[in-house]
Structure 1
Amino acid sequence: MMMKKTLIFLLALLVSGFSGIIGAKAADLDGTAILHQVDENLQPQSYEMYRKLINIEPDGTKKEFVLYSVKKGQDKMVALFLSPASEKGRSTLRLGENMWLYIPNVGRPIRITSLQSVVGGVFNNSDILRLDYSSEYDAVSIVQEGDAYLLDLKAKTNAIAYDSLKMRVDVKALVPTTIECYAASGMLIKTLYYKNTKDFGDGVVRPSVLETDSPLYKGYKSMMIYAKVQKRELADEVFSLNYLARIDELR
C-alpha cells in the first residue's frame, strides 16, 4: 500500500512538472510583441510605395487602379491615384480614424468613412489606407499551432472598421498569412490573404500580394499587388488637407 501511494505521488509530481513546462512555454508567447514585429516586417515606420489594386467581378470583369502611397508613424497615410485616367489626381488622406478624399474638380477635401470604398470592390477605405495593426488592435490571446501563431485581436475603439481579427502568422517570417475580419455581432466580414513574399530591399521582406473575398460580396474578389515598398523620411506637412493637391510632387 505504501509503495502504491508513493508511485501515485511520484506520478502526480511528474505530471505537475510537465504542466509547468507547458505553461512556461505558453507564457513565453507574447501576442503584443509578436503583433508589433508583424507591423515592422510589413512596413517601415516611414515609407513610400506603389501598388496596383484590382477588382474582379463574378463574370471575370476587372477594374484596375494604380496608387502611389506614403505613410509616416502609426497614424498618417496618403494615397494618390495614378490611373485610370478617370481617377488620376484624386488623393486620400488618413489621420488616425479620420479620412478625406480630394477630387481635383471639386477643389476641396470631402470626409469619407473607413467602411466606404473609394474604389468599389471588396477592399474598403480602411484596407486601402491601413495603419499598423498594433495601433488599432490589442492582442487578447495567442497560441502556436504548428508553423503558425494564431492571434485573436480586439479593436481598441468602436471607430475601427473591424471589431475583431483572427490573424494567422508565419512563425519564421513573422508576417500574416490570413486574417479573418469580424463585426461586433461575430459575423465574418471578409478574409485577407497575404501571398508571394518578396525582398523589396533595405531589409523589407514581406508579402507582395494581398487578396480578399467576402461572404457579403459573393463571387467578387479584390487584390493589391505591391511593386515597391521603401523607406523614406517625410515631413508632417505632407499629411495635411492643404497638401493633398500636391502629393504628386513627391514622386
Structure 2
Amino acid sequence: MFNLLILLLLTGITATVQAADIQTILKQADNYRLPQDTVQVETSVALYKKGKLDKERQYSVYIKPGRRSLVIFNSAVERGQKVLMLDDKFWMIMPKSRRPIRITPMQKLLGEASTGDIATMTWSEDYDGKISKKVVINQIPCLKLDLHSIRKGTTYARIELYVAQDGFWPVAANLYVASGKLAKRAYFSLDDVNGRVSAMTLFDKIQRQRKTVIRYLSMTAREIPDKFYNPMYLVRNPVLVK
C-alpha cells in the first residue's frame, strides 16, 4: 500500500510537470520579475568584494512591450548616461555626445552586471527549450530548464534556469555566452511581502570573492512617450524629466 501511494505521488508530480509546457513555465517565472508590461523599475547595482560593499550605482529603467527599455543612469559619477534597447539593438547615449554609440547587451555596468541584465527582465520572449530534470537547489525542489536563445540580441546564448517545482518562481541560473563559456551564476531572492523577485545576485566563476547584487527597489506602472525610445531623440534631448 505504501509503495502504491509513493508511486501515485510521483506519477502526479510528473503529470503536473508535463502538463505545463516550457513557455507556460517561463511566463510564470517572468511574472515574478515583471508582473506588468509597462513599468518603471528603480534599480540599484552593488559590487561586493570579500563581503564588503565596494561600489554602488542607481538606475531608472522604463520598460515597454516589444522589447523596449530605456535605462537612465542616476548616480553622480554616471549622471547623463543612458542605454536604449529596441528589439535586438542597444545604444549608449553619453552626455554631450552627438551620436548614439552601438553596444552589445554584454556591455558592463558594474561588477558582473551588464546592460542586458537590467534592461531585460523576461525569458519567455527570448528563449525556448525543455525541462531537463528535477534537482534540489538550496533545499528547494526545482525543475532544471535548458534554454537556448531564439533571437540575436539576447545577453546570453544559453541558460540553465532552475525554477521552483511548486509555483515556477526563479531560484538560480547558469548563464552562458555564445562561445559556450559559463559567464556567471545567478541566484534570485523573493520579497517576503509581495512574493516577487527583489534581487538577483551574480557570481563570477573565476573571482569567487566578488559578487554583484541587482536590487529592484520599486516597481511602478508608468508609461513614458514613445519618442523617448529613439536614440537620436535622446541625443538631441539630453535632459529628461523623470
Q: Same fold (TM over 0.5)?
A: yes
RMSD: 2.8
Equivalent residue number for residue 155 of structure 2: 161
Q: C-alpha deviations, 1:40-96, integer Å up to 9, x for none?
A: 33111110011111122458461111111100014100111111x221121110112
Kept after mapping to 1: 8 A contact 2:163/2:171: yes
- CA distance in structure 2 between the aligned counterparts of 1:228 and 1:176, rounded to whole angstroms: 19
- CA distance in structure 2 between the aligned counterparts of 1:128 and 1:19, rounded to whole angstroms: 38
Counterpart pick for 1:137 among 127, 150, 163 = 127
Bigger shift: residues 49-58 or 64-73 = 49-58
The one-letter code matched in structure 2 to 1:191 is R
Equivalent residue number for residue 70 of structure 2: 78
- CA distance in structure 2 between the aligned counterparts of 1:250 and 1:155, rounded to whole angstroms: 35
1:139 is displaced (CA, Å) by 2.5
| Number of residue pairs the alignment of both structures matches | 229
The one-letter code matched in structure 1 to 2:117 is D
Kept after mapping to 2: 8 A contact 1:80/1:248: no
Q: C-alpha deviations, 1:88-121, integer Å up to 9, x for none?
A: 121110112211111113243211112221x241
Kept after mapping to 2: 8 A contact 1:26/1:143: no
Equivalent residue number for residue 209 of structure 1: 199
Kept after mapping to 1: 8 A contact 2:46/2:53: no
Structure-to-structure mapping, 1:103-118, within 5 angstroms: 103-117=94-108
- CA distance in structure 2 between the aligned counterparts of 1:106 and 1:116, rounded to whole angstroms: 18
Counterpart pick for 1:194 among 173, 181, 188 = 188
Query: Are 1:64 and 2:60 counterparts?
Result: no
Distance change (3 Å), C-alpha of 1:105 and 1:218: farther
- CA distance in structure 2 between the aligned counterparts of 1:19 and 1:52, rounded to whole angstroms: 42
Kept after mapping to 1: 8 A contact 2:113/2:214: no
- Identify, as 1 or 2, the structure richer in helix: 1
Query: Are 1:147 and 2:138 counterparts?
Result: no
- For structure 1, the 5+ residue unaligned runs are 1-16
- For structure 2, the 5+ residue unaligned runs are 1-7
Kept after mapping to 2: 8 A contact 1:50/1:68: yes
Counterpart pick for 2:46 among 54, 70, 75 = 54
TM-score (norm 2): 0.81
Equivalent residue number for residue 99 of structure 1: 90
1:250 is displaced (CA, Å) by 4.4
The one-letter code matched in structure 2 to 1:125 is T
Kept after mapping to 1: 8 A contact 2:82/2:93: yes
TM-score (norm 1): 0.79
- CA distance in structure 2 between the aligned counterparts of 1:235 and 1:216, rounded to whole angstroms: 42
Bigger shift: residues 212-221 or 187-196 = 212-221
Secondary structure of the corresponding residue to residue 114 of structure 1: coil
Query: Are 1:229 and 2:219 counterparts?
Result: yes
Kept after mapping to 2: 8 A contact 1:122/1:217: no
